[in-house]
Structure 1
Amino acid sequence: MTTYVVDFFHSSINFSIKHMMITKVNGTFDSFSAQIEADEIETFKEAFIRFDLDVASVNTRDNSRDQHLISGDFFDADRYPKITFIKNAVEGGNDKFKLHGDLTIKDITKPVTFEVAYNGHVKSPWNADTYGFTCKTIINRKDFNLTYNAALETGGVLLAEQVHVNVELQLNKM
């Protein structure tokens, strides 16, 4: 198997959630690590994939909101400092496939499936073999005991249950 490393300057783990029923709040996890080994990186077949996100690195461009997100109302980062994804299986192939795995948030593990697009392979200006992927999924935050919410005076709730996750990956062959 070949080992691949994430180019952290050209990769991101992003999320969005509907806020007050009328708009979306976007955020990222600025600190994460990955272990990726594969025989066939273009399709993640026969691959070992693990991501660990540092919960305290959540960034929504609003410090008070970020502090609330790492508190006991949401992620409880002091007790649960990591979010982990581990690949179980891959379905399909070519440029689009499904990546099945286990997502653990707050010690609750649930299966999740990412829709993955393989965006191609290039040689970088530094002669590195570089591969690009876009990975998307939607999770229900309540499945992971992320239940904080507030009713709005005009009806509805402050936060939707569905969280859209988008991962942009640039991988370099080690």
Structure 2
Amino acid sequence: MGLFNRSKTTSTPVATAAPVATEPTSSFVSDIAGDYVLDPSHSRLGFSARHAMVTKVRGNFEEFEGTAHVDTVTPANSKVEVTIQAASVTTGSEQRDGHLKTPDFFDIENHPTITFASTEVVRDGSEWAITGNLTINGVTKPVTIDFEETGSAKDPYGNTRLGFEGATTIDRTEWDLNFNAALETGGVLVSEKVKLEFDISAIAQVPSQV
């Protein structure tokens, strides 16, 4: 007998599962053009580097601020500026964090901030390539960071939010971050290549009414 041909007298009641509660989805913002500020409490500016040639150490900066102007019609007119407090570096090890703040690395007494200022912005759909001047340890070099839009929404407080994820890899010695130590088995203690990682939540600024 087919599944859908069973007699009502022989069928047994089947308990139905309670509906599963789902979280409300955020609304998509059709036009993301405008001026934004970074939301540090929902963003991460981090890095990772190989340690002793066998594993990676990850860290991030807890204090930073930034602004962005997004022009969707003419992306080249977009711009980004970020200032990071170098002393806010954290890697989960007080000893390592203390070393990073010395002249071997960030030299926070003489160079308290790390900055980035865009010089060129290119967009291809949801992907953005942002080129700019990165200043670390008093040295300024150009870098290009590839970003992808991760979403846009109106949050429960009425803020328009825009999300990006991005990364790039740099050679830290180009910024005079030269400290290292040789290993007995060959190689060095800290890799010269460092991956910079960005998870960004930015809040649109409402123009003031005059």
Name stretches of at least 5 consecutive residues in structure 1 with no aligned partner.
none
Q: For residues 128-167 of structure 1, what are the structure 2 equivalents within 5 Å?
A: 128-167=159-198
Q: Does 1:83 align with 2:105?
A: no
Seen in structure 2, the aligned counterparts of structure 1 residues 32 and 44 have a Cα distance that, compared at 3 Å, is farther
The CA deviation at 1:72 is 1.0
> Across the two proteins, how many residue pairs are aligned to each other?
173
Q: Equivalent of 1:13, from 21, 39, 45?
A: 45
Report the counterpart of residue 52 of structure 1 in structure 2. 83
Name stretches of at least 5 consecutive residues in structure 2 with no aligned partner.
1-32, 206-210
On the 8 A contact 1:38/1:45 being kept in 2, the answer is no
Q: Deviations over 1:137-157 (max 9, x none)?
A: 111000000000000111111
Seen in structure 2, the aligned counterparts of structure 1 residues 27 and 44 have a Cα distance that, compared at 3 Å, is farther
- Tell me which structure has the larger Cα radius of gyration: 2
Task: Indicate the RMSD between aligned Cα atoms, in angstroms.
Answer: 1.6
Bigger strand share? 1
Q: Deviations over 1:40-59 (max 9, x none)?
A: 39x95412311111110000
Taking CA–CA contacts closer than 8 Å with sequence separation of 6 or more, which of the two structures ends up with the larger relative contact order?
1
Q: Does 1:29 align with 2:61?
A: yes
The two structures have a TM-score, normalised by structure 1, of 0.94
Percent of aligned pairs sharing the same letter? 37
On the 8 A contact 1:138/1:163 being kept in 2, the answer is yes
Paired amino acid for 2:82 = F
